[in-house]
Amino acid sequence: MQIFFRCRHCFAECKANPAYDKGLVSCKACGKQQALRYTESHRIQNVVDRCVVCSREDFYIRDETRKALGLFYLLAGLSAAYFTYGASLALGGWGFYWHFCKYPKLTICYHCYAKYRNCRQNPRHKEYDLEFVAHLEKEIRNDRTFRDFR
């Protein structure tokens, strides 16, 4: 599992891996260490149940955006199929299939937008829900103690 999240201090992208990190990750941009809260399901089962950055349990599933490159391979194979008598179509299909398998779905936290890649899908996590996001925004506006101005 790979975890991509924003630094709390400088907002640079940080990377973490529960298999190698012991709970402290230092930011490559500002050098400050951040504590991450791994659970047993992160380390052993490779399943996301709680966010390591904000400790919340609200996630959604999204496709990896790099799948457009696989679609480009397929379209390039389709356009060259006339000239290569269909041989390039097989190569384009193989490129699309390879990218589809290489970049599986992402699990993303609703609150801190931490991205979890190369993990098993949790059946409780669904696609992006606009009603749930509207409910979260309403809670944030009503909660006066939630603000974190540094």
pLDDT score for 14: 92
pLDDT score for 108: 93
Instruction: For tokens 């006339």, name the residue.
Output: 82
> Is a pLDDT exceeding 70 seen at residue 143?
no
> Is a pLDDT exceeding 60 seen at residue 2?
yes
State the pLDDT confidence band at 107, using cuts at 50, 70 and 90.
Answer: very high
Neighbours of 5 (CB within 10 A): 22
State the pLDDT confidence band at 104, using cuts at 50, 70 and 90.
Answer: confident
pLDDT score for 114: 93
pLDDT score for 145: 58
Q: Report the pLDDT averaged over residues 110-114.
A: 91
Neighbours of 1 (CB within 10 A): 20
Predicted TM-score (pTM) of this structure: 0.72
pLDDT score for 67: 64
DSSP string, 20-64: T--SEEE-TTT--EEE----HIIIII-B-SS-TTT----EEEE--
Taking the domains of the chain in order of start, what are their residue ranges? 1-63+104-129, 65-103
Q: Which tokens hold the place of 105?
A: 């779905």
pLDDT tens digits, 8-67:
889 999 999 888 888 889 899 998 998 899 988 888 888 999 999 998 999 999 887 666
